[in-house]
Amino acid sequence: MLGKEGLDVGRKGQHKKFSPVRLIVVHPLNDYSGSPRVLADFLTCDLLHPKAVTIITSRSNGFLHDGLGQRTLLWYPRWKTKLLRVSSFFFLQLQLFVATLYTILRSHFKGERVVVINNTMLSMGSMLASRLCGATNIVYLHEWTIGSQRVGWIVRFLSKHLIRLMAHEAVFVSRFLSNRFELSVNLKTTILPNGLRSDFDPNLPINFQSKFEQGKVLFVGYLKKNKGIFELLKIAQMMPSTSFQAVLNCSASEISDFTSNYLLPRNLEFLPQQIDIQSYYQEAFLVMNLSLADACLESFSLSILEGMSCGNPVIVPLVGGHREYFDSSAGDAIDAQNTDEIIAFIVRLQGDFTLWKKYSQSAVELVKDYSAEAFQNRAGRFLSKYVK
């Protein structure tokens, strides 16, 4: 187990001590979105002990809680104006650099061997500090799209060059994402597919009849244009007799700001961040991911995986990392801007229980290899290279 001093047996049978390992995990913004959720499940691997893990992240509430390791909390306010947001981001990078540098040097002083996992491409300050201090530098990449297209291009340009120059290994959540980054062939890379979140109960029964009769269409995502929020409004407006529900990764005040500018159809309910989201999937009839492919490429899409695991047919973007576990037996791949085709697919399923159930059962079968346990096993095999 990581962090415990042990013995190694040499060729002649002699015993020699090896130094304990300090795992420093860096994630810029702690919230209830996909990348901190996956990282939190990664840190529950049996090889890790919380006392040997240091988490550097923001002060905000999220999946990266105290029980996962010792936390170093940073100040990262989320301002509304663009200039303040940019200033906050650069100040965060400085904090990441200093906090990582200090933690590595303190660990070296204690005689610990240091491994740093920089979560997401936004951990640029800690990537630099890790390399400068001679720590093992791993970059764990979850996304391709960051903010607007211009901002995303700048961030990717900077992070890709830092990764090429300073990382010992890059970890990707899908082969699709790995291919998009096109990193140097000399850099070691690993594909570590996501799994279902560890707080999901895999043994909950699926009430097919109830799901079909309620007919609730679920959207799980962000309150952003490139995530298809306006396509959702349009679809709900055109299907007034169908119940729509959107669980959004944002606060209640952000929803209030949005709804003060845009009128929601009566059949559409907006909900802020939900820690326990499985119940929403359990009650849904169908799950939609409406990301616009020309502005937001899905590197894996946890909402699709989670929806399928709860017996939901899904509507997915035409391209993305989800195509590595999804196929047409579990739903349909449709351009989110083609709302007429999306509506026609939903109406078709609403009128045929046998067809809907066939999609539902196929969805469950397709994601069996992406259970929380399977992810833990994959994470353990990866970590064993560094912590044993």
Q: In this predicted model, what pLDDT tens digit does every residue of 119-169 receive, in sequence order? A: 999 999 999 999 999 999 999 999 988 766 777 788 888 888 899 999 999
66 and 133 in a single domain? The answer is yes
In this structure, the answer to whether residues 178 and 324 fall within a common structural domain is: no
Which domain CATH number covers 107? 3.40.50.2000
* pLDDT of 7 strictly over 80: no
For residue 200, tell me if it sits in a domain: no
- Which pTM value belongs to this model? 0.89
Is 48 inside any structural domain? yes
Q: Give the integer Cα–Cα distance in Å for 20 and 388.
A: 9
Residues 173-197 pLDDT 10s = 999 999 998 887 789 999 999 999 8
* Domain shared by 162 and 98, yes or no: yes
pLDDT at 372: 93
Whether 306 is covered by a domain: the verdict is yes
Residue ranges making up the domain that contains 59: 6-195+371-387
Residue 267 and residue 375 in one domain: no
Structure-block tokens of residue 215? 């007919």
In a domain, residue 203? The reply is no
User: Going by C-beta distance under 8 Å and a sequence separation of 6 or more, which residues neighbour residue 87?
Assistant: none
- With residue 26 as reference, give the H or E element that holds it: strand 21-26
Helix (H) or strand (E) holding 40: helix 34-42
* pLDDT tens digits along 324-340: 999 999 999 999 999 99
The reply to whether 61 falls in a domain is yes
179/138 Cα distance (integer angstroms): 18
pLDDT confidence tier of residue 78, bands split at 50, 70 and 90: confident
Determine, yes or no, domain membership for 91: yes
Rounded CA gap, 273 and 250, in Å? 6
In the chain, the largest separation of any two C-alpha atoms, in whole Å, equals 77
**148 vs 259: which has the higher pLDDT:** 259
Compute the mean pLDDT over every residue in the chain, rounded to the nearest whole number: 91
360 and 348 in one domain? yes
Same domain for 235 and 340, yes or no, is yes
Strand bridging mode 6-9 / 15-18: antiparallel
Instruction: Report the distance separating Cα 117 and Cα 18, nearest Å.
Output: 21
Task: Give pLDDT, residue 136.
Answer: 96
* Burial class of 356 by CB neighbour count within 10 A (0 to 12, 13 to 18, 19+): buried
Encoded tokens for 41? 């499940």
Both 266 and 377 in one domain: the answer is no
d(C-alpha 167, C-alpha 372), whole Å: 27
227 & 288 share domain: yes
Q: What's the pLDDT band for 199 if we cut at 50, 70, 90?
A: confident
CA separation for the pair 381, 375 (Å, rounded)? 10
Within 10 Å of residue 327's Cβ, how many Cβ atoms? 12
Which structure tokens are listed for 136? 């093992």
Q: What is the mean pLDDT of residues 300-313?
A: 96
Q: What are phi and psi of 160, to 5 degrees?
A: -60, -40
Q: Summarize the confidence of residues 214-218 as an average pLDDT.
A: 97
181 with 292, same domain: the answer is no
Judgement on whether residues 153 and 301 belong to the same structural domain of the protein: no
Q: Residue 274's pLDDT band (boundaries 50, 70, 90)? A: confident
Instruction: Work out how many domains the chain is built from and give that number.
Output: 2
What's the CA gap between 98 and 100, in Å, rounded? 6
Mean pLDDT for 35-57 is 94
How many whole angstroms separate alpha carbon 318 and alpha carbon 362? Answer: 19
Examine residue 354 and state whether it is found in any structural domain, yes or no. yes
Question: Are 351 and 317 found together in one domain?
Answer: yes
Let me know whether 76 and 189 are in one domain. Answer: yes
